[in-house]
Amino acid sequence: FANLAEYGNTTAASIPIALCEAIEEGKVKPGDNIVLTSFGAGLSWGSAVIRWGLPLPVEVSSWRRWRRRLRGRAATFRSSLRKRGRRVRSFLDRKYN
C-alpha cells in the first residue's frame, strides 16, 4: 500500500497514514497479518509483522494491582520529599547568603 504520490514524504507518519487508508478501504480485516516496513536515511530501515484485531483480555492479578498502587504512592511520597527538600534549601540559601 503506497501513498507517496498523494501525500509526499511524510517520514514517520507514513505507516499510520497508509494503515488508516487501508482500513478505510476495507483492505484490513480482523485476523489479517500486516507487514509494516519503512526506510530511513542511508541504509536504515525497520519492519514489523502484526496480527490485526482486538487484544485478548488479560487477567491482572490482585498482587500486580496492589504493587502498581504501592509504586504510585511511593512515587508521590518521593516527589513530596524532594519538593520539601528544595523548599528547605531555598530557605537556607536566602537566609545565609
Cell 511524510 -> residue? 10
d(CA 7, CA 10): 7
Most distant CA pair in the chain, distance: 71
pLDDT (tens digit, 9 = 90+) per residue, 11-59?
Answer: 778 888 989 999 999 999 999 999 998 887 788 888 999 999 988 888 8
Q: Residue 95's pLDDT is what?
A: 86
Smallest Cα–Cα separation from 36: which of 57, 14, 64? 14
d(CA 71, CA 18): 39
Q: Where are the domains of the chain?
A: 4-51, 64-97
Q: Residue 78's pLDDT is what?
A: 97
* pTM summary value: 0.51
